Every structure is written in structure tokens, then in C-alpha cells.
Structure 1
Amino acid sequence: MTDYVLSDTTRDALLRVSTASVATALYKRGLRNQFIQNVQPVAWKGRNMVGQAFTLRYIPAREDRNPITVFRNPDHPQRVAVETCPPGFVLVMDSRKDARAASAGSILVTRLAKRGCAGVVSDGGFRDAEGIGKLDVPAYHQRPSAPTNLTLHEALDINVPIACGDVAVFPGDVMLGDGDGVIVIPAALADEIAQECAGMESFEDFVLEKVNAGAAIIGLYPPTSDQVQADYAEWRQKNGR
């Protein structure tokens, strides 16, 4: 859906910024609804997840179409998505915000990790969540769920526009996950958002240092005081930021 290719420079910048900073930068551009709702890390890895979106769409399962035997089909979309999500990309699943049945389990997520994928996101649940949490690959979901996806979900479309936690996700959009959750950055904005947010993170580190030292917020955050601007410039020079 996009010709955009995430550069190493932009990826490295996003690895060091927060979803909160990105949300503010997107809001400045009129985008209010990019943070995926009710999705959290299965187990926080202490580092960001960054990668372009490769999508899978589920629809409500119908009993005549989804017996357990469908998994024998080598063209089953869930399995195909796991085997074709490109290295460095994030598999993003539209599970209709329904965590009563699993979007995937530890074996499929392990396969994504072995193939070099950057992460996996579902607005539903994962089975074997404890095992997924022990993997090195970042994984985000609503909550653990034991039943197979076939009881409620039918995997249907691969790499099409989807909804995930009330956010539109287009193939190639940039997914950023941190300890709070996951935000979707439109591909066309990814480079400028990354550059802007790197500066925001630097300023917020400066502010926290000041607040921890006893400084008041007014005039500091946002920086409406000329003295704050001068202090920040000096801080940046001193800290190489």
C-alpha cells in the first residue's frame, strides 16, 4: 500500500522515543487517534518495538467454515501471514477487539521471532501468553486467552488496511511500541516525526532533571520563559543532546 521504506536512521531514532512524544507530535498535525486502545505488552522487554506494519484481518468465525481441520490447509491465512511477514516488520492483527479467543500462540510467535520479524500486535488475546512473554520478540495484546482463534475468528485477508484497537492501520505504516502500548505512525510522516520526537525526548529529560531539583512547572513546561530556553541550550551543549 506504500512505497515507503523505513530507514535505519528513522528506526534508530524511534527506538529512543516514547509513544507519548509521538502522540503529541501527531496531534500537532491533526491526528488524534493513533494510539491503539486496550493493548499492552505481554511482557515489557525494556526496549521499543519499531517496524512497518504487515497486517492480518480476522472476521467473525462461522461454524461451517472453521472446523479444526482448516489448519491442514497450507494456504490458511493465519499461517501464511506468519510465513510471509517480512523480516523487520511487525505483524498487526485485527482481532475485532475480542480477546475471548486467541489471535495466535507461542509457536506462531516463536516462528515470527525466528524469521526476524520486529514484533507482533493484536487487539485480541494470545494463548500461551507466559511462553510468549519469555521470547525476545516484542508482543502486544489485550489479555491472555486460551481458546483457539477458530472458535470466534476467521483469518481472512493479508496485508490490507485494517482496524486495530480503534486505529486504522495501513500496510507499511510504522508501528512504535513501548512500555505503555503501541502507536501507529502514517508512513508519510514517519521520518519527520522521528526527528521531531528525538528533540522532544531531549527536552523532557532536561525538564525532569529540573523538576527533580525542585523547579516549578510554570514557564518550564511548556518553555515560555526566555531563561528556560537559555538553560536548555546550555544543558544540550553540556550533555551532547
Structure 2
Amino acid sequence: MTLSPDTRAKLARCGAATLANALLKRGFRNTFVLGMSPVAPGQPPLIGPAWTLRFIPAREDLDSMELYARNDSLHRRAIEECDPGAVLVLATGGDARASSMGDMMALRLKTRGVAGAITDGGFRDAPGIRDTGLPCFQIRESGPATPIWLHPVEFNAPVGLGGVAVYPGDIIVGNDEGVVVIPRHLADEVAEECAGVADYETFVAREIRRGRSLFGLFPATPESRADYDQWVARGRPQQE
């Protein structure tokens, strides 16, 4: 489930929409998790392999604050056992009636070196989560305690997240554009391709500001690629 520093750095430069387009070229149509919002606007990109916890609806004889406090609680164990560098995926089936995590759990993840957390439900204690610096994404905020509506049942099994399949080890990338799920075996090549796209789009933006038309520039043509290569060779100047 490791992700190389080089691939991680390249993914950090890539927008979620660009990554989704690269996956579409490879036949993967459903990889963008719609409706996700960062807990903290402007937070660092969230990048890492998925480590999943699946919830089902709670039941009164199994779920209470007393039972929730036990050391064998799967929810609490997930916070302690999620791999450093991974993204904790809290899959609720889209249920935001109760919170998936609060600020103390987020702080523990941060101190353990977990990359971040994502849920298709909601988190509580959002100001506290923001203070931890842990990158997190959710559908919407949710204050009620977890055991009211949610029961944790399984670690590291395939889950649905906002209608997107997530398999353990898939690479999660979340940034200001949204969240995308990359099959692990494609992460390196998609990162390489999309980092190149990001570089080319920096060139495109420069050319547009100088008055150049989109025609023959975006999408790229052999001629515009040659112009781009020359720009790179000159050291990528922004002003000429």
C-alpha cells in the first residue's frame, strides 16, 4: 500500500478533474466522488492509499455510548490501526445523520502520521479538525454522536463512497477541485501523465494571457507542443 515520494509529489500537482480525465481515457468512467468538500478551505492536498472502514445503520442493542467506549470498538480501532501515510475512508452509505469522526480522533490520526480522512457522511467538531491540520473531506457537517445512526462492521474491504467503488490500496487524491479514486496499479502512470498536463496548462495559461487563441493551443497540437518544448528549454519564463 506504499506510494512512492515521486508519485505522491506528481499527484500533488494534479487537479482531480485532470486525473479523472486520464482515468476516463483508460476506460474508468466513475472515479470522481461528487459532492465532497474540504473541511478546511485551502487545506493541503489529501493523497494516499485507501484504508477503509465500512458502517451500516446502527441497532439499539448493539450501539450506545457505553459500548462505543470499549477498546474493541472497530471505530476506535480504525483510528489506532490505520496505516501511516494512508487515507482513512469512512464509508457510511451516504448517511450524514451522525458524525463519522470528531476532532480528537482527527488529532490522533494526525499524530500517527495518517495522511487524512474522507467520508461520504459528515464530521463533527469541524473547527477542531481544522486546527489539527489533518486534510479531510466530507459531504456535509454532522453533529450527532456516531452510535445514534452508524455501526462499524468491517476494515479494509471494498466500499462504496459517494457511488464510487473504493478498494483497499486505491489511491485517493483530494484537492480544491474535489476527490478522485485511482486504481492502485494505475497510480504511477496517471501521475506521470497528469503532471505533464499540469505543466502544459501552465504554458497554455501564459499564452492566453499574452492574447493567443485557444485554437491550435488547447487541446495541444504538434505545433503548440513544439512551442511548449521551446518554452521549457528557455527555463519556463513567465515574462518575455
**How far is 1:46 from its partner?**
4.5
Work out whether 1:116 is the aligned partner of 2:109.
no
2:231 alignment partner in structure 1: 235
8 Å Cα contact 1:57-1:93 kept in structure 2: yes
Match of 1:220 in 2: 217
Long gaps (5+) in structure 1? none
Tell me, yes or no, if the aligned pair for 2:57 and 2:151 is still in contact at 8 Å: yes
Partner of 1:198: 195
Equivalent residue pairs, number: 237
Amino acid at match of 2:226: A
Report the AA paired with residue 87 of structure 1. Answer: P
Distance 2:14 2:225 in 1: 21
Structure 2: 5+ residue runs without aligned partners? none
Deviation at 1:240, TM superposition (A): 5.7
Residue number in structure 2 paired with 1:138: 135
Shift of 1:229: 2.2
How far the C-alpha of 1:72 sits from its partner, in A, is 2.7
Scaled by the length of structure 1, what TM-score is found?
0.94
Partner SS, residue 102 of structure 1 = coil
Superposed CA RMSD in Å reads: 1.5
Equivalent residue runs for 1:95-114 within 5 Å: 95-114=92-111
Q: What displacement does 1:41 show?
A: 0.4
2:37 alignment counterpart:
40
2:163 aligned residue: 166
Please say if 1:93 is aligned against 2:87: no
Partners of 1:91 and 1:121 within 8 A in 2: yes
CA positional deviation for 1:182: 1.3
Report the TM-score when normalising by structure 2: 0.94
Cα deviations across residues 96-122 of structure 1 (Å, max 9, x unaligned)?
112121001111011000100001000
CA contact (8 A) 1:102 1:145 kept: yes
Counterpart check, 1:54 vs 2:51: yes
Is 2:68 aligned against 1:77?
no
Correspondence for 1:23 among 20, 23, 26: 20
Question: Within 2, Cα distance between the matches of 1:71 and 1:98?
Answer: 18
Aligned to 1:155, what secondary structure does the other structure show? strand
